[in-house]
Amino acid sequence: MTPVTRGFTAVAIALFALMVVTQARAQKVPKPDFKQYKRVHQKALDLIRTGKAETAVKFLAVVEEKLSRDAETRYMLAVAQCTLGQADAAEASVEKALELGLPVGRIIGGSHNGLDAIRKRPLIRRLIRQHGKTPVHGPMIGNLSGTSATVWLRTADAATVQVEANTVPLMPGGKISAEVQTRREHDFVAKVVLKNLKPRTKYTYTVTIDGQKNRAANQQFMTFSKSGEAGRFRLAFGGGAGFVPQHEYVWNTIAATKPDALFQLGDNVYIDNTSVMDMHHYCYYRRQSRPEYRSLVAGLGVFSIWDDHDFGTNDCFGGPEVEAPSWKRPVYEIFRDNWANPGYGGGDQQPGIWWDTYINDVHFICIDGRFYRTDPKTTKGELSMLGPAQKRWLLSTIKKSKGTFKVLISPVPWVFKAKGDSRDTWNGFQHERKEIFAFLTKNKIKGVVLMSADRHRSDLWKIERPGDYALYEFNSSRLTNQHVHKTMEAAVFSYNAKQSFGTVDFDTTAADPTATYRIHTIDGEQVFQHTVKRSELN
């Protein structure tokens, strides 16, 4: 063999070895994380959307060995088969998913459900004929006040949506209606704003889609008092709501406490992906399709913020720039389409999800703890969780507040001790928290209560402030999550034995107004109660 021949042979052997290794890597099937159900099908979707649909099929075969009658597995298999051009197999997988209980809305709803390849085939065409003029997700009441409400829902295709609300009992001038068009560029979402509602009044409402009326017993809500007026109301709140089918009944448990509003304070659906935007849509669709959740949110005001697992990845930093990293704006736009909040940061020119609103005379001021958060590894000088624009807004809003109670809401705990030595909470931004608290003292801001989420348990904390009143913090963030965080001895009370949520009853009609915090388990047991009087916050 000549030297040249030996050289060609060596190259050929090396190329063959490289091809074998590459194929072996391509065929390697990841191991499903059965300890966290919410992650299993997200992994499959990530494989599909990153060019590994064949591997996803093999991955789902492993999943099906463990979860033999799982509708979500069959649905995700259909998405993989659509990607691979296997239309007949995809239709069969969809039929099986429906047989196993997958809601029809998962098949016909959402412009990012992964089933476009079979949308014009007989099965989905039939489903659209049967269900296409009903809300596929929602309705959900958002931005509820004493005089207005937003009805959020998603349609199967572009449609005309009308909402008509009537007082209960009927009264002259009690009928209010509004109409919008849904479009693909906003994922067929309707946000129908009902104005000129009567304060402290019960309404029922009908949703009409392309001429078909949709009524349900849970389509009713109660308006609050006029902004600034005293009143009584109950809110439920929490975070840590990954998709866990066996824990989705928590939404029924919340409904049983009869709250007037629901505050979802981050880690609401657990996305954890900044490169596959379809993952965001998928995680919202899963939750929005659950009958327990739909029943709850159709009849009370829903308000939300995000945290790391909805915005980016675990303990992430968005950074100070508006457009960098490039995934920030798309994530913001998807969040905006899937909620009906009072506001979204500084609008599209200064995106974010901070906002404020009054319920009666209680002022809720909610921050975005991720979009502009700076990274200690790359930041020179003081760190910021808020960024300059949001901080100016926050301090100005606090100073102008007329609330009997002023509730400052953060996605992560205000107290430094909630997460050990972690710098992900305000413990990593002590200078900025000190600045905010000093502002409260300097401007003699009274009546402040804190709320937060993030920790997979429910706590009451009391933050002492030398020379000023103590701040109580209501914290809860294990609505559905399987993963749990240890209880904290430094807290006034700390609970983690079961999934849980908080309720807060505000009564500002009392001579000494009160805020009563309760912790409830997923099974409806009340395990803690504490009342904060307004006179304690002077």
**C-alpha R_g of the chain:** 25
pLDDT at 19 over 60: no
| Degrees to nearest 5, angle at CA 282 with 276 and 288 | 150
* CATH 2.60.40.380 at 137-220, yes or no: yes
> The CATH number of 14-131 is which of 1.10.3720.10, 1.10.150.120, 1.25.40.10, 2.40.30.10?
1.25.40.10
Give per-residue pLDDT as tens, 61-120.
999 999 999 999 999 999 999 999 999 999 999 999 999 999 999 999 999 999 999 999
Per-residue 3-state assignment (H helix, E strand, C coil) for 118-132: HCCCHHHHHHHHHHC
The residue ranges of every structural domain in the chain are: 14-131, 137-220, 228-537
Identify residue 205 by its one-letter amino acid code. Answer: Y
Q: What is the mean pLDDT of residues 127-140?
A: 98
* Polymer length in residues for the chain: 538
What pLDDT shows up at residue 254?
98
**What tokens appear for 329 in the block?**
């704006």
Query: Can you spell out the DSSP letters for 67-82?
Result: STT-HHHHHHHHHHHH
Average pLDDT, whole number, for the chain? 95
Q: Which superfamily does CATH assign the domain made up of 228-537 to?
A: Alkaline phosphatase D (PhoD) (3.60.21.70)
Distance CA(526)–CA(89), nearest Å, equals: 49
Which of the 8 DSSP states describes residue 360?
Answer: T
**Burial per residue of 35-48, b for 16 or more beta-carbon CB atoms within 10 angstroms, e otherwise:** ebbbbbbbbbbbbb
The one-letter code for the residue type at 394 is: L
- The pLDDT score that the predictor gives to residue 5 is 47
Under DSSP, the state recorded for 488 is: -
Q: What is the mean pLDDT of residues 450-464?
A: 98
CA 48 – CA 250 distance, rounded (Å): 31
User: What are the residue ranges of helices labelled H in 339-412?
Assistant: 388-400
Q: Each residue of 469-502: pLDDT tens digit?
A: 999 999 999 999 999 999 999 999 999 999 999 9
Half-sphere exposure of 202 (CA within 13 A, CB side): 7
Q: Which pLDDT belongs to residue 56? A: 98
CA dihedral 322, 325, 327, 328 (to 10 degrees): -30
- Chain centroid, CA 515 distance in Å: 25
pTM to 2 decimal places = 0.94
pLDDT score, position 2 = 56
Residue 112: strand, helix, or coil: coil
197-243 pLDDT tens trace: 999 999 999 999 999 999 999 999 999 999 999 999 999 999 999 99
Residue pair 474/238 in contact (Cβ under 8 Å)? The answer is: no
What percent of the chain is modeled with pLDDT above 90?
Answer: 94
pLDDT of residue 26: 55
CA distance 126 to 107: 11
Q: Is the pLDDT at 13 greater than 50, yes or no?
A: no
Tell me the pLDDT tens digit for each residue of 293-326. Answer: 999 999 999 999 999 999 999 999 999 999 999 9
Burial class (CB in 10 A: 0-12, 13-18, 19+), 54: middle
Going by pLDDT thresholds of 50, 70 and 90, the confidence category of residue 9 is very low
DSSP labels, 308-329: HHHHSSTT----S-SS-STTHH
- Contact by Cβ (8 Å): 302, 153: no
How many other C-beta atoms can be found within 10 angstroms of the C-beta atom of residue 94? 26
241: how many CB neighbours lie within 10 A of its CB?
Answer: 30
